[in-house]
């Protein structure tokens, strides 16, 4: 609570410091005048220097969003703890800009530490293959060991990463919660852009539920603990973080497991902040993973907190079944085969057929039924039909609580069709989609 209050104080202080700038912004104000005023608003100290360096504060960005069919204007600040919006999504990494963001984050959240490049090289044995953990859309992960014996996870961004990819991860500096990965520090050296995290001993969720050897070790009690931990983490992101953060790329690869199997939501490169919990926003650059992407986000670039709810539903079904959700795009599929199969099994009271065979009989069918029904409610095509994460927490916390509605049947697949999106790039398991029609 103390951390949350301090974070709130920092937010308020920044608004107060921006008041002189806001007063100068009107229809007749040109960009040069605004930037001059911005330079007078605030500055930061660079650690180890004897002089004060001033960085230009960012002008409030006015973003048009749609709320339940109506339009309103919302002030979205470009701040390192919130992520960059608008045209910054595709801006390439610039060292001066990144250092500026990192130093502002360091100023606001003292637990965030700068690491030297030599420390990183030593910790990873010069990024050796034996330290390699895996690769994502725009970065490679390594296991690192600091001189004190402390083990960390190191994310090394590549040349394809944008300013938004890096800055969105910086918001983790203020998100200190049990089920959110902990960001420890940063390093920028030449072309190297690196972030340092707390290391998760049991790797990612996909390495367990889809593995024939590790799968049986993840019994139902552990899987249920993971599901409930994800609920708590998403409730925090959507409601209690004060930022209404939508992750936009939830999948088993981005769920890391602590030594006791406590789940940690990671990889916030695609995350965005919303003005309220009912806000919808649009983007023409959809970066997500097939099988987990909500239909409205894939086809129209519309995202909201309900986008995460859909992905959570898929995660739950995969955790129960040990199966991957496959989407048949050419047949107009919007949710995936796992969702359709699970719905029919639920409707026919055959949910035992859905359960991962590696679990044997070591599960409570009532718990399976409740989790599966909640997952099906989450993975419905229409976001208005999906519950909120707060509702989901209530549904899973009380065994006696009757679920308010039944999940609707998924749409029947068509006999072909090209769909409304064009896939222009595929890297690893992440697909980059450009919207061509609505």
CATH number at residue 334: 1.10.510.10
Residues 295 and 419 grouped into a single domain: yes
Residue 61 forms part of a structural domain = no
Residues 288 and 413 grouped into a single domain: yes
pLDDT in tens, the chain (438 residues): 887 787 777 677 666 655 544 444 444 444 444 344 333 333 322 233 333 333 333 333 333 334 334 444 444 444 444 443 344 555 556 778 888 889 998 888 878 999 999 999 999 999 999 999 988 778 999 999 998 889 999 999 988 888 888 888 998 998 989 999 999 999 999 889 999 999 999 999 999 999 989 999 999 999 999 999 999 999 999 999 888 999 999 999 999 999 999 999 999 989 999 988 888 999 988 888 999 999 999 999 999 999 999 999 999 999 999 999 999 887 888 999 999 999 999 999 999 999 999 999 999 999 999 999 999 999 999 999 999 999 999 999 887 778 888 999 998 876 654 444 333 333 334 444 445 443
Residue 389 forms part of a structural domain = yes
pLDDT of residue 71: 42
pLDDT of residue 118: 95
DSSP assignment of 146-159, as one string?
-TTS-EEEEEEE-T
Residue 11 forms part of a structural domain = no
Residue 249 annotated to the active site: yes
Residues 276 and 388 grouped into a single domain: yes
Residue 6 forms part of a structural domain = no
Residue 55 forms part of a structural domain = no
Residues 297 and 210 grouped into a single domain: yes
Residues 257 and 172 grouped into a single domain: no
Residues 214 and 186 grouped into a single domain: no
Residues 369 and 415 grouped into a single domain: yes
Residues 181 and 232 grouped into a single domain: no
Domain count, the chain: 2
pLDDT of residue 420: 41
Residues 300 and 349 grouped into a single domain: yes
- Which of 122, 165, 219, 249 is catalytic? The answer is 249
Residue 361 forms part of a structural domain = yes
Pairing of strands 61-67, 151-157: unpaired
Picking from 166, 198, 230, the residue at the C-terminal end of a domain is: 198
Residues 141 and 225 grouped into a single domain: no
Give CA–CA dist 285/432, Å, rounded.
7
Picking from 198, 233, 248, the residue at the C-terminal end of a domain is: 198
Structural domain boundaries enclosing 86: 81-198
pLDDT of residue 92: 59
Exposure on the CB side of residue 49, measured as CA atoms within 13 A:
9
Residues 92 and 225 grouped into a single domain: no
Exposure on the CB side of residue 340, measured as CA atoms within 13 A:
13
pLDDT of residue 286: 87
pLDDT of residue 138: 85
pLDDT of residue 403: 85
pLDDT of residue 319: 98
Strand order from edge to edge, sheet including 430-435: 285-288, 430-435, 421-427
pLDDT of residue 135: 87
Picking from 130, 164, 198, the residue at the C-terminal end of a domain is: 198
Residue 45 forms part of a structural domain = no
Residue 62 forms part of a structural domain = no
Q: How does DSSP classify residue 234? A: H
Residues 306 and 213 grouped into a single domain: yes
Give me the CATH number covering residue 148.
Answer: 3.30.200.20
């Amino acid at each position: 609570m103390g951390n949350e209050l301090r974070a709130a104080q920092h937010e308020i202080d920044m608004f107060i410091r921006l008041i002189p700038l806001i007063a100068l912004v009107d229809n007749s104000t040109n960009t040069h005048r605004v930037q001059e005023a911005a330079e007078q608003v605030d500055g930061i100290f660079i650690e180890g220097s004897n002089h004060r360096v001033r960085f230009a504060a960012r002008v409030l960005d006015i973003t048009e969003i749609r709320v339940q069919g109506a339009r309103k204007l919302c002030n979205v600040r470009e701040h390192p703890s919130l992520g960059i919006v608008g045209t910054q999504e595709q801006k390439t990494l610039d060292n001066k800009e990144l250092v500026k963001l990192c130093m502002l984050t360091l100023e606001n959240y003292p637990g965030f530490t700068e690491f030297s490049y030599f420390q990183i090289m030593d910790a990873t044995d010069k990024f050796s293959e034996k330290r390699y953990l895996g690769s994502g859309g725009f970065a490679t992960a390594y296991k690192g060991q600091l001189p004190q014996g402390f083990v960390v996870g190191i994310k090394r961004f590549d040349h394809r990463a944008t300013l938004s990819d890096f800055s969105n991860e910086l918001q983790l500096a203020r998100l200190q919660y049990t089920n959110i990965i902990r960001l420890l520090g940063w390093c920028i050296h030449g072309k190297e852009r690196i972030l340092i995290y707390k290391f998760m001993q049991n790797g990612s969720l996909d390495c367990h539920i889809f593995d024939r050897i590790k799968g049986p070790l993840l019994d139902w009690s552990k899987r249920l603990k993971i599901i409930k931990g994800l609920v708590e983490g998403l409730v925090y992101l959507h409601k209690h973080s004060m930022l209404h953060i939508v992750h936009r790329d939830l999948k088993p690869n981005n769920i890391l497991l602590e030594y006791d199997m406590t789940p940690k939501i990671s990889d916030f490169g695609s995350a965005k902040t919303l003005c309220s919990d009912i806000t919808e926003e649009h983007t023409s650059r959809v970066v997500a993973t097939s099988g987990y992407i909500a239909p409205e986000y894939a086809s129209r670039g519309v995202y909201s907190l309900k986008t995460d709810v859909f992905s959570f539903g898929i995660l739950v079904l995969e955790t129960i079944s040990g199966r991957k959700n496959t989407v048949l795009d050419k047949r107009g599929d919007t949710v995936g085969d796992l969702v359709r199969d699970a719905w029919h099994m639920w409707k026919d009271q055959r949910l035992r057929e859905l359960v991962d065979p590696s679990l044997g009989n070591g599960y409570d069918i009532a718990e399976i039924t409740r989790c599966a029904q909640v997952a099906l409610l989450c993975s419905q095509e229409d976001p208005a039909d999906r519950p909120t994460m707060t509702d989901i927490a209530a549904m899973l916390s009380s065994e006696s609580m009757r679920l308010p509605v039944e999940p609707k049947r998924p749409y029947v697949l068509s006999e072909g069709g090209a769909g409304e999106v064009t896939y222009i790039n595929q890297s690893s398991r992440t697909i980059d989609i450009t919207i061509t029609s609505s």
